[in-house]
Amino acid sequence: MDCSVPDNFGSSQKLMDLAQQLRQYKSPPTPFDDDDDDNEEQKVEESAGKLVSQLGFAESVTPVAQQPPERFRPKRAAVLICLFEGDSGELRVILTKRSSKLSTHSGEVSLPGGKAEETDANDAETATREAKEEIGLDPSLVNVVTCLEPFLSKHLLRVIPVIGILSNKDFNPCPNAAEVEDVFDAPLEMFLKDENRRSEEREWMGDKYLIHFFDYEMNEKKYLIWGLTAGVLIRAASIVYQKPPAFLEQNPKFKVPRVVQNDTIMP
C-alpha cells in the first residue's frame, strides 16, 4: 500500500469553521476539579442519578469520579476522532478494525489510539502517536482542535477522545498488520440517527442500561460499531452537530462499585 503523504494541505471553509467551533468547546469539569469537600456527598448523589453513556461511559457523570485517587487510579489512554470532508461535503471519521490476533477486543471496530506512555506530552500526542503506529497517519496532517471529557472503558481504562481534523482527505492509510486488519471511514452524523442502529439491554449492579450497535457497510464489507467506540462517536457527533441523537442514548442511575479493583470489569 502506498504510504506516501500527499503535498496538498488545503482545508475547506467548512472545516475551518468547524475547527473554530470545536476550539471553543470546554468539556465538563471532573468532580476533583473542585476542592470543596463540603459538597462531596451531594455531588456523589447527584452524579449517581445522571445519565451516562453505555459500556464506555463519561467519567464525570459517574460516582467513580468522586472516589479518592488512592482507591481508583485507572490507566490513561487516548483515541483519535479524525474528521475529514467527504466527496459530498459530509463529515467522515476514520475507523479501524482490530486484528483478529490481538488478545483483547480482537476483530472489533475502534478508533485509532491506545495507552499513554510516559514520554507523551499530552493526550493529543498519545492519540496521534498511536494513530501513526496503527495506520501510518503522520501527526503533521492532523489539526487537533479539542479533547472531550474522559470515558471509562469496559475494563475501567480512562480514555480521552481527541478530535482532530485531517488536512488532506487523500491520506492513504498504512495499517500495521499486527494491530489493524482494516481501515475505513464512516459518516459522523450516522451516530445521531436511528437508522442502522439497534440496542441491547443489560444490567449492572441492579440497574439496566443500553448498549448501542451500528451496522455499517462500505466497499461490500460489513462492520459492527458498538461499545466504547459507539459511545464516544455519539458524544462527538452531538457536539459537532450541536444536537442530541434521535434515540435514547443513556439510562439513569448507572452505578460503579464503591471500591474499584484492578480486575473490575463491567458486564
Residue with cell 471496530: 109
* Tens digits of residue pLDDT in 130-175: 999 999 999 999 999 999 999 877 667 889 999 999 988 789 999 9
Whole-angstrom Cα distance, residue 23 to residue 266? 33
Statement: residue 62 has pLDDT above 50: yes
pLDDT digits (tens, 9 = 90+) for 211-260: 899 999 999 999 999 988 999 999 999 999 999 999 987 543 444 445 54
Interatomic CA distance for residues 108 and 239, integer angstroms: 25
| Measured CA distances, 74 to 65, 212, 236 (Å) | 11, 24, 22
CA pair distance 124, 131, nearest whole angstrom: 11
* pLDDT for the residue numbered 213: 95
Q: Could you tell me the three cell numbers for 60?
A: 464525570
Q: What is the pLDDT of residues 1-25, one digit of tens each?
A: 444 444 434 568 999 999 999 999 9
* Separation CA 183–CA 108 (nearest Å): 12
pTM: 0.78
What's 37's DSSP letter? G
